[in-house]
Amino acid sequence: MREISNALKRRLEDLTVPNHLAVIPDGNRRWAAELGLSVMEGHRAGFEVAKSLSRFCRRIGIHTLTIWAFSTENWKRDAAQVSALMALYEDWLTELLAEAIEEEVRVIHLGRLEGLPKGATGPAAAAGFPEGLPISLQQGLIDIENKTAGHERNVINLAINYGGEDEVSRAVGKLIRDSNLREGNHDGLDLANFLDTAGQLHPNPDVVWRTSGEMRSSGFLPLQSAYAELVFSPKFFPALTEEDVLEMVAEYSARIRRFGG
């Protein structure tokens, strides 16, 4: 991992760096439209920014980075766009695997690996994916999870085919199945242990950061984010820079977190 400069170290001295940053990378298409580019050029630019910012986050001490790459609502997009996105995810996983192994980063998939959540069947079928994520992408996610499972230095969560309502529904189903196996002994049952981030060192984000000027969470990590600080950037995601990350950290540092106390 590349070392940070002395100037950057001095800037970070008085800041509280979040352990877990969750990002809603919004605005790829609007950024492209403003520049007269195609939708896919906007998405490709967003992917490149996600790669560079994830590296920068590791350098400044953010342990866990969660990126909402594809929501359960994104199945409503046109077939050509969804197909191109799926191909971009597969290419990213191939590139990320070597980097994650070298830098001891654990990569975890958040969301529904197989199948589709309630309400997404029709849109996904119209987009050409009636079964949900393509098998090749599923296998890529399984492969990178398995090959990085022993790493602890950092975590990257890739939320693909993720929706907050769907996560809670799946977690409740797992809890019920586990409860049925306990034969009446329900001591210690905790829904948090069945969420997609269960077992992680920092399962709950300290900051949820959304770009493009939209000021809502859209159900992203709804239970884990109950006490997260919400930070909004007016910039479209492909326009973000390292300076924007530092400004986000500075805003987070200025917040007083009482956790209900």
**Cα–Cα distance measured from residue 201 to residue 206, given in angstroms and rounded to the nearest whole number:** 13
Question: Angle at the Cα of 204 (from 202 to 148), degrees rounded to 5?
Answer: 45
One of 74, 154, 157, 161 is an active-site residue; which one?
Answer: 74
For 20-178, strand residue ranges (E) read: 20-24, 64-71, 105-110, 154-162
Comparing CA positions, the residue from 75, 56, 244, 224 lying closest to residue 160 is 75
Joined tokens for residue 67: 């990126």
Candidate list 6, 14, 26, 185, residue with the active-site label = 26
| 3-class secondary structure per residue, 21-89 | EEEECCCHHHHHHHCCCCHHHHHHHHHHHHHHHHHHHHHCCCCEEEEEEEEHHHHHCCHHHHHHHHHHH
- The residue behind tokens 């977190």 is 257
**Residue 29 burial (10 A CB sphere; 0-12, 13-18, 19+):** buried
244 catalytic per annotation: no
Q: How many CB atoms lie within 10 A of CB 228?
A: 22
In angstroms, the Cα distances linking 17 to 59, 64, 135, 225, 248 are 11, 11, 37, 17, 10
14 labelled catalytic = no
DSSP helix/strand/coil, 151: coil
Q: Are 178 and 189 in contact (CB under 8 A)?
A: yes
Among all residues, which ones are annotated catalytic? Answer: 26, 74
